[in-house]
Amino acid sequence: DFASEYHLNLKLYYDGNGVLSSLKDQRVTKINKQRKSPVDFSGQIIGTAPLQGELIEDISLAEKDFWSNLFILISGISLISLLIVYASRRIIVSAANSLDKARALAEKKTSELKAAYDEMEHRVEERTSELKNVNIELEEEITVRIRAEKALNKSHERLLTVMDSLDALVYVADMDTYELLFVNKYGREIWGEITGKICWKSLQSGQTEPCQFCTNKKLLNGDGNPTGVYIWTLQNTVNQEWYECRDQAIRWTDGRLVRMEIATNITERKKVENQLKSSLREKETLLLEIHHRVKNNMQIISSLLSLQSRYIKDKHYISMFNESRSRIKSMALIHEKLYQSKNLENIDFNDYIKSLVNDLFIFYGIQGGHIVLNINIENVILDIDTAIPCGLIINELISNSLKHAFPDGREGKIEITSRKMNIKGVNEYELIVSDNGIGMPDDLDFRKTESLGLSLIVTLSEDQLQGKLDFKRDNGTECRIHFKELKHKENR
């Protein structure tokens, strides 16, 4: 092989070179001994004629030296050639190994690239399929949106048609900037093309700042959420017309809160209302005068009965006259309370009863405080049709207690209780009048009696008030009446 050949040549070179060097050194030494003069072993002949035999020998030695040097040179060239061949073979082997490795790596990379390519192809196919499905879905969604947009446009057109056909102002304004975002045809015809302008500058005249009556703050609660519809009236400063406004905070198309107002012209209605108010004031004045005159007439009747009783000697008839006067006075007191109050239809029952019972105590001369009066009436308001029979009933019951329950100055107590109840959405009342006097006789049937007072109590309670009447005789006398408020307006 190459290594063995290289080592063999190298050995021959060193061995031959050593032999030649030894021979040369020996010959030069011999010549120098014979000649005893320096010799230049460069191939040049140094000497004279007497040294001719030596010269021939020197020539032979020089020839040998030449061939020796030539051999050395050839051996060196061979060695260099061998080294070059060896190095070339090593390079070729290394290059071949590198090439094999590169080829294997290339095949590996090629395989990996092919696998990656196949994977990529698979993913591309999957993604392409997904994109196709997505594209189909997008096309369907676009179709749906186009249909929805067309439907929305039609709805918008219909809404605009409705808004423009209303005989009322409809506008939408930004709650922060007061910019008018929408104005219907009615508003444009009266106030002009004001969309995009400031509402308080366009809808009102003479305004230098937002209107003091602006409802923006009333349309939102503390959390900034809409509170609902706010209704109010306003006289416009541009055309001097009256409008009933319905304001509400709504979400605009971009999500912001805006104020929508629908203002209906109520100028004619306002004129009718003013006329009705004027007529009502006239009627109230007339009704006050009527109540005042009725009260005065009843007082006149009471006075006439008092004058007539002076000519009657029988105490029984005198008592009858006095009871009639008491009843007339109870009715007159109602008319007096009506024309003294601001409400001509309803009466404060508590105030009325206190005045009525106080007059009865004076009428029957109850002094000294031996009879205690307790009045417990809740916030009960009665109309005149219910108050008059209630007043007459209380008048009869208190009169009976003052006349019969406490004989010979006996001490006692009278209680009047009234309360309002709401039963299944219907206002019902309970009236209780009681005393701790000697009580009614056990054999007395209050429904079958000749007493005018008891007959009035039964008739007024059950017939006029359409209530339930009950008497209790334990520890005195208690009268309990349960009734509903009369629907006098429907009966008229």
Instruction: Please calculate the CA angle 409-413-419 and round it to the nearest 5 degrees.
Output: 150
Tell me which residues of the chain have a pLDDT lower than 70.
1-67, 286-288, 291-292, 338-339, 341-344, 368, 487-492
- Claim to verify: residue 357 and residue 477 sit in the same structural domain: yes
Angle between helices 267-309 and 315-340 (to 10 degrees): 160
| 322 assigned to some structural domain | no
Contacts (Cβ under 8 Å, ≥6 apart) of 312: 318, 321
DSSP assignment of 122-143: HHHHHHHHHHHHHHHHHHHHHH
Judge whether 335 lies within some domain: no
Task: Tell whether 86 is covered by a domain.
Answer: yes
Q: Could you say which of 221, 247, 265 is where a domain stops?
A: 265
Residue-number span of the structural domain to which 489 is assigned:
345-492
Q: Which domain-ending residue is among 197, 230, 265?
A: 265
Distances in Å between the alpha carbon of 225 and those of 179, 215, 253, 404?
20, 14, 17, 68
CATH of the domain at 369: 3.30.565.10
Provide the terminal-to-terminal Cα distance of the chain, rounded to the nearest Å: 146
Instruction: Determine the Cα–Cα distance for residues 46 and 51; give it in Å rounded to an integer.
Output: 10
Residue that terminates a domain, selected from 248, 265, 282: 265
Are residues 73 and 109 located together in one domain of the fold? yes
**Do 115 and 197 reside in the same domain of the chain?**
no
Scored b (16 or more CB within 10 A) or e, 47-57 reads eeeebeebeee
Pure H helices in 36-51: none
Query: Nearest 5°: phi and psi at 247?
Result: -105, 145
- R_g over Cα of the chain: 68
The Cβ of residue 351 has, within 10 Å, a number of other Cβ atoms equal to 13
Q: 122 with 26, same domain?
A: yes
Query: Edge-to-edge strands of the sheet including 371-377?
Result: 371-377, 412-423, 426-435, 477-484, 468-472
Tokens of 131: 């994109």
Co-location of 390 and 492 in the same domain? yes
Q: Are residue 101 and residue 44 in the same domain, yes or no?
A: yes
* φ, ψ (nearest 5 deg) of residue 48: -120, -175
- What pLDDT, on a 0 to 100 scale, did the predictor assign at position 211? 92
Q: Are residues 122 and 183 part of one domain?
A: no
The answer to the question of residue 298 being in a domain is no
pLDDT at residue 11, as a whole number? 53
Whether 312 is covered by a domain: the verdict is: no
Kindly state whether residue 158 falls inside one of the protein's structural domains. no
420 lies in some domain: yes
Q: Are residues 39 and 106 in the same domain?
A: yes
355 and 403 together in one domain: yes
- Minimal CA–CA distance to 415: which of 337, 329, 478, 490? 478
What confidence score (pLDDT) does residue 25 get?
54
Q: Tens digits of per-residue pLDDT, 269-325? A: 999 988 888 877 777 776 667 766 777 777 788 788 778 888 788 888 887 787 787
| Total tally of structural domains belonging to the chain | 3
Same-domain status, 485 and 448: yes
CATH number, residue 183: 3.30.450.20
Q: What is the residue whose two structure tokens read 């010549």? A: 31
**Which residues make beta-bridge pairs with 348?**
381
Quick one: 140 and 186 in the same domain? no
Q: Classify residue 372: in a domain, yes or no.
A: yes
My answer on whether 132 and 217 are in the same domain is: no
Helices 349-363, 315-340: inter-axial angle, 10-degree rounding:
150
Nearest to 236 by CA among 299, 190, 280, 273: 190
The pLDDT value given to residue 76 = 74
